[in-house]
Amino acid sequence: MLEQVFNVSPEWSATFLLVLARLSAAVVAAPILGAHNVPGQTKIGLALLLSLIVVPLTAKTLPDVPTNIFMFASRIGSEAIIGLVMGIGISLVFSALEMGATLVSLQMGFGLGAVFDPFTGAQSGAIEQFYKVFVTLVFFTINGHYLVIRGLLHTFTVVPPGTADLSVVAGAKVVPFFVALFSVAVQVSLPVMGALMLTDLALALVGRTVPQLNVLVVGFPVKIGVGLLVMAASMPLLLVFISNVFGRALVDVNGLLAR
């Protein structure tokens, strides 16, 4: 019995390498799991563990092992490309949310702090950092890491190992996917940006009414105060919105595969 369980055939070895190539590329490119501060040993261990789980599930669809090393290497490369597409697609969801935070930061005036900060050398302002922490907490609250892993494993149902090539990436769905991400960024920043636009209009009217008032100097603290108040008021709605975005993201990312 043990010999049957631990019997390693050439087909099993080939399938394991193909699955490992796709999952390794996906883990490296995926958000949170592939972060720079995550140790490399953890990423390798996660990819190996997931591969050992997937291979028995694909036993009925074992590919024909190519005898040509170059053909097998091309299959490995195709699997890695599919993994990168899935990982980058999931990461773009985080990038869309960070884009919304950047728009808010620029409108409030915090964007200058990221450009002209000579002490910390930070490339992102306080608002972006706050949104990053907030989005990460929401991600783990809704078990987003489980959703990411389930989404990656689901790709083997859509595209079995050994059958991946560039044609499985649905190019017609890429542009709508990016449009949806841009829409998410706008919706994240819309409450604060709308309030700040009304604030700018009010300041313009005050400047026309009271020419002696330096609107530029007064406008910075007023816009920051209004922006922070609107951010605090919109947090409950933003929590629900981000949760729904993460829930739809994996379905949209898997939709990038044509099969």
Q: What is the pLDDT of residues 155-175, one digit of tens each?
A: 777 777 767 666 556 556 667
Higher local confidence (pLDDT), 202 or 215: 202
CA pair distance 152, 146, nearest whole angstrom:
10
Mean pLDDT for the stretch of residues 126-138: 81
DSSP assignment of 173-214 equals GHHHHHHHHHHHHHHHHHHHHHHHHHHHHHHHHHHHH-TTS-
Statement: residue 257 has pLDDT above 70: no
pLDDT of residue 243: 81
Mean pLDDT for the stretch of residues 17-28: 84
Q: What is the pLDDT of residues 36-62, one digit of tens each?
A: 777 778 888 888 888 888 877 766 655
- Give the closest residue to 175 by CA, choosing from 80, 90, 94, 256: 256
Positive or negative torsion for Cα 18, 21, 27, 30 = negative
pLDDT of residue 187: 83
Task: Spell out the residues 6+ positions from residue 113 whose beta carbon is closer than 8 angstroms to its own.
Answer: 122, 125, 126
Mean pLDDT for the stretch of residues 50-77: 73
CA pair distance 257, 235, nearest whole angstrom:
34
pLDDT of residue 134: 84
DSSP assignment of 105-137 equals HHHHTTHHHHHS-TTT--SS-HHHHHHHHHHHH
pLDDT of residue 138: 83
- Give the closest residue to 162 by CA, choosing from 50, 7, 23, 17: 17
- Give φ, ψ of 66 to 5 degrees: -70, 140
pLDDT of residue 1: 39
pLDDT of residue 77: 81
